[in-house]
Amino acid sequence: MSNLKKRKRVEARLKIYGVASITVALLMLATLLISISLNGYSAFRQAYFKISIPVDMSQFATENGSLSSKKLNLYDWDGLVNQSFNSIFPDITKRNDKRKLFQIISSNSGYDLKQIVKNSEYSIGQKNMVVWLPLSDDADQYLKGRFNIKVPEEDRRLNDKQIIWIDTLVAKDIAKLKFNKTFFTAADSREPESAGILGAVVGSSLTLFVTILFALPLAVMASIYLEYFARPGRITDFIEVNINNLAAVPSIVFGLLGLSVFLSTFGLPRSAPLVGGLVLGLMTLPTIIIASRTSIRSIPPSIREAALGLGASQLQTALHHVLPLATPGILTGTIIGMARALGETAPLLMIGMVAFIMEVPNSFTSASTVMPVQIFMWSDSAERAFYERSSLAILFLVGFLIFMNLIAVILRKKFEKKW
């Protein structure tokens, strides 16, 4: 009697432990996501100022009257923007004050104006451009209320004068926070206001595409061979032990391998998604093999016997019956491997993907970076504005992972069969 009571008590206690541990895990996850969101949401907006700039388009004309990119590139756009911006504050004439004034607008605003002119419809003659150009990252942080004014003036990145100017701009409705389109359409930049995540997202996608294309077929073939054709013996045991070992090898070792094999021996380009994908593919290969073998083994032997008993060959049995049934498990393993590959930075360090890349990659061999590397580099930067951008990038990375898991769930549901 007392024994039964004791057993029930133990059971109840175990249940409490379980609920408690799940609660703790959920709380931690919530804390993480909430704190990142609170830090990152402000990166959705960026401080811009509105300015009207007269541009004499005739000076960019070629002899036959079309737009000359060369002349466009040679023009002093920064000077034009500064001059126009100065005209909002006509009483600032001293050289030193002017320098301070130009610090509150983005040092890339000249370049941005050039891009706008380049993309606008071209016609000869005077053109009055009314454009929104980004303020500097410090002004941006000030507008978002993330700037601490209590710090002594000489230690601040904005002095009292600059703050008054910004306040004037806001009061005149010239400066305000707008949706930060740049973040979603640009690659990395030294200036936070010109930096975007798109380069890293495209880089990650290209890399993962190579990874899955390389690792999945190899892993499935390897597991079919090991499960169906390999004779048990020393060699098979050796292969098996080594696959398990490979799954535990530190990822940076795969980077070294990639460096010496893909870059030095085969001479593939550095920083390329192709090489990154191959390295990450090698890294995830053992994970997918182990998952695939487990999944293949979990198919009831009766299905295999039924096919063999009908006179199907081993390969037909594997391809027609076992593999379709094992697909959900194989996919789950693949997605887990891909998720790990998506978050990996160490092996990419060795093949030059940890680099400052200002262009959105457009091929498998163009220099690119990936999302975790981008987050790492931004969080390493001094500018306060990069801090919120790395938080938003982390949210993006998490979103990417959730998206991948969602695909895995959908595919599982689609392929799952009951018997």
Partner 1 sequence: MSIKFKAEKVDVFYNEKQAINNISLNIEKNMITALIGPSGCGKSTFLRCLNRMNDVIDSCKITGNILLDNEDIYGPNIDPVDLRARVGMVFQKPNPFPKTIFENIAYGPRIHGLASNNKELREIVFNSLEKAGLIDEVKDRLDDQATGLSGGQQQRVCIARAIAVSPEVILMDEPCSALDPIATAKIEELMNEISQSYTIVIVTHSMQQAARVSKKTAFFHLGELIEYGDTDKIFTKPKNQKTLDYITGRFG
Binding site for partner 1 (CB under 8 A): 231-232, 300, 302-313, 316, 320-321, 325, 417-419
Strand order through the sheet with 126-134: 126-134, 45-56, 175-179
Nearer Cβ to partner 1 (413/418): 418
- The smaller minimum CB distance to partner 1, of residues 107 and 236, is found at 236
Instruction: Convert 226-264 to b/e letters by CB count within 10 Å (16 or more is b).
Output: bbeeeeeeeeeeeebeebeebbeeebbebbebbbeebbe
Task: Tell me if residue 175 falls in helix, strand or coil.
Answer: strand
Q: Which amino acid is at 392?
A: L
To the nearest 10°, the Cα dihedral for 392, 395, 401, 405? -140
Sequence length of the chain is 419
Residue whose CB is less far from partner 1, 125 or 311 = 311
Residue 244 CB, nearest distance to partner 1 (Å)?
A: 21
At residue 171's C-alpha, the angle toward residues 166 and 177, to 5°, is 65
Smallest distance, Å, CB 419 to partner 1? 4
**CB burial of residue 342 (10 Å; 0-12, 13-18, 19+):** buried
**Least distance between partner 1 and beta carbon 307 (Å):** 8
Closer Cβ to partner 1, 152 or 311, answer by number: 311
Distances (CA, A) of 411 to 24, 299, 340, 342, 404: 30, 18, 19, 19, 11
Tokens 């002095």 appear where?
159
Beta bridge partners of 221: none
* C-beta of residue 169 within 8 angstroms of C-beta of residue 88: yes
CB-nearer residue toward partner 1: 321 or 412: 321
- The full DSSP string for 339-406 is HHHHT--HHHHHTT-SS---S---STTS----HHHHHHHHHTSS-HHHHHHHHHHHHHHHHHHHHHHH
Q: How far is the CB of 220 from partner 1 (least distance, A)?
A: 20
Q: How far apart are CA 352 and CA 350, in angstroms?
A: 6
User: Residue 108 CB, nearest distance to partner 1 (Å)?
Assistant: 60
In one-letter notation, the amino acid at residue 317 is T
Residue placing its CB nearer to partner 1 in the complex, 4 or 310: 310
Shortest CB 334 distance to partner 1, Å: 22
Q: How far is the CB of 312 from partner 1 (least distance, A)?
A: 6
- Among residues 69 and 302, whose Cβ is nearest to partner 1? 302
| Least distance to partner 1, CB of residue 297, Å | 14
Closest contact distance (angstroms) between CB of 313 and partner 1 is 5
Q: Which residues pair with 51 in a beta bridge?
A: 131
Rounded Cα gap, residues 241 and 227, in angstroms: 15
Cβ distance to partner 1 smaller for residue 103 or 236: 236
Judged by beta carbon, residue 28 or residue 306, the one nearer partner 1 is 306
- DSSP class of residue 136 equals P
